[in-house]
């Protein structure tokens, strides 16, 4: 149980375009989802926390107008990278936390974004 999927697993886009990444909890309801970014050889960096039906909470230094997060249902959150630039190229990972008092985050497989 506790499976999280991400789509796409990798994407290449041109500078200036927008890219949407989906994160789904397949067998549980995720009240909270997290979006992370990881650059090569670096640790996970939390970008934002989203709760179903409410606005996401962004970490300091993360532009909310550039990284649009929508948590429309208890099983789906999306991250849209708007007007992508080469410096946005990174590994984007989502995780989900269930409704019970369980602080474990279940991670999706990640999405590798390359902006050319």
Partner 1 sequence: GQNIDQPTEMTATEGAIVQINCTYQTSGFNGLFWYQQHAGEAPTFLSYNVLDGLEEKGRFSSFLSRSKGYSYLLLKELQMKDSASYLCAVVDSNYQLIWGAGTKLIIKP
Residues that bind partner 1 (CB under 8 A): 34, 42-44, 46, 49, 91, 93, 103-110, 112
Q: Which one, 14 or 60, has the nearer CB to partner 1?
A: 60
Q: Which one, 3 or 72, has the nearer CB to partner 1?
A: 3
Say if residue 8 is preceded by a cis peptide, omega within 30 of 0. Answer: yes
* In the complex, minimum distance from the CB of residue 36 to partner 1, in angstroms, rounded to a whole number: 9
* In the complex, minimum distance from the CB of residue 83 to partner 1, in angstroms, rounded to a whole number: 26
């Amino acid at each position: 149980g506790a499976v999280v999927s991400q789509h796409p697993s990798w994407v290449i886009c041109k500078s200036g375009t927008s890219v949407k990444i989906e994160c789904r909890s397949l067998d549980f309801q995720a009240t909270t989802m997290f979006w992370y970014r990881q650059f090569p050889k670096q640790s996970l960096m939390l970008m934002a926390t989203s709760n179903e039906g409410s606005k996401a909470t962004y970490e300091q230094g993360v532009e909310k107008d550039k990284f649009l997060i929508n948590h429309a249902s208890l099983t789906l959150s999306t991250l849209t990278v708007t007007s992508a630039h080469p410096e946005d190229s990174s590994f984007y990972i989502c995780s989900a936390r269930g409704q019970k008092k369980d602080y474990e985050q279940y991670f999706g497989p990640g999405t590798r974004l390359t902006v050319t």
